């Protein structure tokens, strides 16, 4: 297929020179990576891509001709609307399942920690624990461990309780809660919503596309205001709430003279221990005895974001760079857990000395060493992994080593609690200055640029180009996940970036406070921080009575995973208009497409926008923010013309 069909708007695999160099090195060594495999997969089946292929029952697969005007039906009588809505709902529920199972794991770790079964861990942020306990109506005067046990049990109930609704739904602004009640989509229990979506999409159950999408909405809300939010809060409680921290990013952080250990995946439970163990003198001695100068722990994907936010550990790269970390030839061990871990890593690792170590009992890869992670012996587990890596150092083949030189400075570690408080300074910790800056027209609004990389789009291109234009348009950008890593590599996560990229209003704000124009808020479960930040903006007042009125937007311009679809849907259902590309597999059904991009705004106050072109997305975001400003009758932008067009 042509680049245009694939949504590639710039030729080449990546705009990141480190990625291009590492990929060339891999090719020189005859190592196949995702780009070659993707090429070999062409042509991609358009029925599947449009959501018109139904593999749900065993009478099919059935597929609907997208270019026929006839009312074509699959064997069971499901038409294009039912089929694509079912596919969409399944994608959402898989995404919700992934985030929420992550949260469940953290819940168990919290309980084990509180009951002394996981001695390596401790409750680090007792203040936040107290706040959550109070919110859940629990006794806050008990001991920290008692309180943690109660919080753990209470939140664990949210996965499968028989009655009532999720606890954190009450955190949302009134406007959102009312809309959810009216639409009948207040999430009940997390597992229940996932199960119900799977039930509804089973052969011969729910055939109404709208009813299916509303079920998907309820399921997605159980992620944003359930699983993801729980994961964020409990991780903050266990490992500490992030604080602004300096670090470095890109493949150039790997060191030729050190034992390089890369952690990849999503859960911080093991990587926190690896970070701890890597600083122990015993481990350092052991590493030196194996001929290396030290041990370097770096991350990929959201594990990277977790240990960057809390420990300041360097980031080796984002999703599309996972194999390239191995093909630098300088990685002794790559430790993986769950989500976004490509099975292709095993094939890449086979060409090098790199030991690929899987650690989650939920995620095994054939031909990979499995070290089952036991939370009770967490630190021993981490030490064993580091020793294995150190032993592997002498097997490194210098002829195969090529570490790209690029690495970039960054500041990360912002949260809903601290990010905007910086705007007020230490003595005036409120969202007031942020709201004031928006009302005065210094800031146009806030844009959340989030999400994955995809091999369908030139790596990092959309993230970087869009953010560049948003900054120029005085939009304060908050980021999570692989999007944050992409912008970190481009240098946007430094305070100096404000001087170079920001419009005058945004620059004034950044200079006054000393923050970067792009705030790194964490991993992809930490999109819940953005929901909380929006809620705080509503509470502070002056820029809207519910989230859907705020001059904010979400952008996921290189989306790849089912989790991203779930995030997109909970953002929209929470009132944040979401610019998303490549579109979820719904384009084959005009009805589903119309609902998601138009009618849904009537029900939830926000909609999806599916647009592949980076510049058009950026302009559309600015136009959208201006329309929101106009509706609120906010002051005109201080230094910039507002866009005449209305969204």
Partner 1 sequence: MENHRKIIAMTKLCTGCRSCEIACAVAHSQTKSVFQALFETPLPRYSIEVQHYDGVNLPLACRHCEEPDCLFACKAGAISKDLETGQVQVDLSKCVGCWMCVMVCPFGAATADMERGKAVKCDLCREREEGPACVPSCPTKALVHGELNDIPK
Q: Residues in the site for partner 1, rule: CB under 8 A? A: 2, 4-5, 7, 43, 45-47, 49-50, 63, 65-67, 69, 583, 587-588, 612
Q: Output 6 or 31, the one with its CB closest to partner 1.
A: 6
Q: Output 50 or 220, the one with its CB closest to partner 1.
A: 50
In whole angstroms, what is the distance from residue 501 CA to residue 497 CA? 6
How many Cβ atoms sit within 10 Å of the Cβ of residue 597? 17
Q: How many residues does the chain have?
A: 647
List the one residue out of 224, 589, 244, 179 whose CA is nearest residue 417: 244
| CB 613, min distance to partner 1, A | 11
Q: Output 1 or 440, the one with its CB closest to partner 1.
A: 1
**CA 356 vs CA 9, 20, 371, 471, 571: distances in Å:** 34, 23, 10, 39, 35
Distance of CA 240 to the CA centre of its chain: 19
| CB 50, min distance to partner 1, A | 7
Q: Output 45 or 59, the one with its CB closest to partner 1.
A: 45
Q: Output 68 or 289, the one with its CB closest to partner 1.
A: 68
List the one residue out of 151, 229, 224 whose CA is nearest residue 187: 224
| CB 45, min distance to partner 1, A | 6
Q: Output 8 or 192, the one with its CB closest to partner 1.
A: 8
Q: Output 11 or 43, the one with its CB closest to partner 1.
A: 43
DSSP annotation of 10: S
**CA 259 vs CA 23, 273, 332, 385, 433: distances in Å:** 22, 17, 6, 12, 45
| CB 200, min distance to partner 1, A | 26
Q: Output 1 or 635, the one with its CB closest to partner 1.
A: 1
Q: Output 65 or 256, the one with its CB closest to partner 1.
A: 65
| CB 3, min distance to partner 1, A | 10
| CB 43, min distance to partner 1, A | 5
Q: How far apart are the first and last CA of the chain?
A: 32
Task: Count CA within 13 A, CB hemisphere, residue 636.
Answer: 6
Judge whether 238 and 110 are in contact, CB under 8 Å.
yes
| CB 2, min distance to partner 1, A | 7
DSSP annotation of 14: B
Backbone angles phi, psi at 579, to 5 degrees: -95, 120
What's the Rg (C-alpha) of the chain? 24
Query: Which helix (H) or strand (E) covers residue 334, if one does?
Result: strand 333-336
| CB 67, min distance to partner 1, A | 4
Give strand pairing partners of 358.
336, 370
| CB 42, min distance to partner 1, A | 8
List the one residue out of 409, 381, 411 whose CA is nearest residue 510: 411
Q: Output 9 or 124, the one with its CB closest to partner 1.
A: 9
- Listed in sequence order, the residues at least 6 apart from 58 whose beta carbon sits closer than 8 Å to its beta carbon are none
Report strand pairing: 53-54 vs 62-63.
antiparallel
**CA 402 vs CA 268, 322, 407: distances in Å:** 29, 15, 14
| CB 211, min distance to partner 1, A | 24
């Amino acid at each position: 297929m042509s680049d245009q069909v694939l949504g590639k708007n710039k030729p080449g695999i990546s705009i990141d020179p480190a990625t291009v160099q590492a990929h060339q090195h891999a090719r020189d060594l005859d190592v196949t990576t995702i780009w070659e495999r993707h090429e070999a997969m062409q042509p991609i089946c358009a029925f599947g891509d449009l959501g018109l292929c139904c593999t749900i029952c065993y009478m099919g697969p059935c597929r609907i001709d997208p270019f026929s005007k006839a009312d074509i039906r699959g064997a069971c009588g499901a038409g294009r609307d039912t089929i694509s809505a079912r596919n969409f709902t399944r994608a959402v529920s898989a995404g919700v399942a992934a985030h929420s199972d992550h949260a469940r794991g953290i819940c168990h770790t919290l309980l084990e920690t509180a009951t002394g079964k996981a001695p390596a861990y401790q409750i680090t942020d007792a203040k936040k624990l107290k706040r959550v306990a109070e919110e859940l109506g629990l006794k806050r005067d008990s001991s920290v461990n008692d309180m943690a046990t109660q919080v753990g049990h209470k939140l664990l109930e949210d996965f499968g309780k028989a009655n009532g609704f999720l606890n954190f739904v009450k955190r949302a602004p009134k406007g959102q809660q009312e809309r959810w009640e009216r639409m009948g989509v207040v999430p009940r229990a997390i597992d229940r919503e996932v199960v119900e979506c799977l039930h509804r999409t089973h052969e011969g159950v729910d055939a109404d596309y709208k009813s299916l999408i509303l079920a998907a909405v309820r399921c997605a809300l159980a992620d944003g205001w359930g699983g993801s939010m729980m994961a964020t809060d409990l991780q903050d409680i266990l490992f500490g709430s992030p604080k602004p921290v300096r670090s470095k990013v890109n493949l150039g952080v790997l060191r030729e003279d050190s034992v390089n250990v890369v952690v990849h995946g999503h859960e911080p439970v093991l990587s926190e221990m690896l970070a701890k163990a890597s600083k122990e003198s015993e481990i350092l001695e052991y590493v030196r005895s194996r001929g290396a100068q030290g041990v370097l722990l770096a991350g990929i994907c959201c594990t990277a974001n977790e240990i960057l936010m809390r420990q300041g550990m360097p980031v080796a790269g984002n999703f599309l760079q996972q194999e390239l970390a191995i093909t630098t030839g300088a990685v002794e061990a790559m430790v993986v857990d769950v989500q976004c871990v490509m099975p292709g890593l095993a094939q890449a690792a086979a060409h090098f000395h790199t030991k690929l170590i899987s650690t989650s009992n939920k995620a095994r890869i054939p031909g990979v060493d499995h070290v089952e992670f036991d939370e009770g012996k967490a630190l021993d587990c981490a030490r064993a992994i580091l020793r294995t890596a150190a032993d592997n150092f002498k097997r490194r083949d210098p002829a195969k080593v090529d570490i790209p030189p690029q690495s970039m400075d960054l500041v990360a570690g912002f949260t809903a609690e601290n990010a905007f408080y910086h705007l007020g300074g230490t003595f005036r910790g409120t969202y007031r200055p942020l709201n004031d800056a928006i009302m005065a027209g210094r800031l146009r609004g806030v844009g959340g640029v989030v999400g994955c990389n995809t091999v369908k789009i030139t790596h990092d291109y959309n993230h970087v180009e869009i953010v560049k234009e948003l900054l120029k348009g005085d939009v304060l950008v908050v980021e999570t996940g692989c999007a944050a890593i992409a912008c970190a590599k481009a240098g946007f996560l430094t305070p100096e970036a404000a001087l170079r990229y920001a419009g005058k209003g945004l620059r004034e704000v950044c200079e006054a406070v000393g923050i970067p124009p792009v705030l790194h808020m964490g991993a992809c479960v930490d999109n819940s921080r953005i929901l909380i930040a929006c809620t705080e903006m509503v509470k502070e007042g002056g820029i809207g009575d519910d989230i859907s009125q705020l001059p904010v937007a979400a952008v996921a311009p290189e989306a790849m995973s089912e989790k991203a679809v779930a995030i997109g849907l909970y953002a929209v259902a929470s009132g944040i208009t979401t610019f998303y590309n490549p579109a979820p597999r719904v384009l084959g059904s005009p009805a589903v497409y119309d609902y998601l991009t138009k009618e849904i705004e009537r029900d939830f106050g926000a909609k999806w926008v599916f647009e592949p072109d980076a510049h058009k997305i950026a302009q559309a975001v600015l136009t959208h923010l201006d329309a929101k400003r106009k509706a609120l009758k906010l002051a005109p932008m201080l230094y910039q013309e507002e866009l005449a067009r209305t969204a």
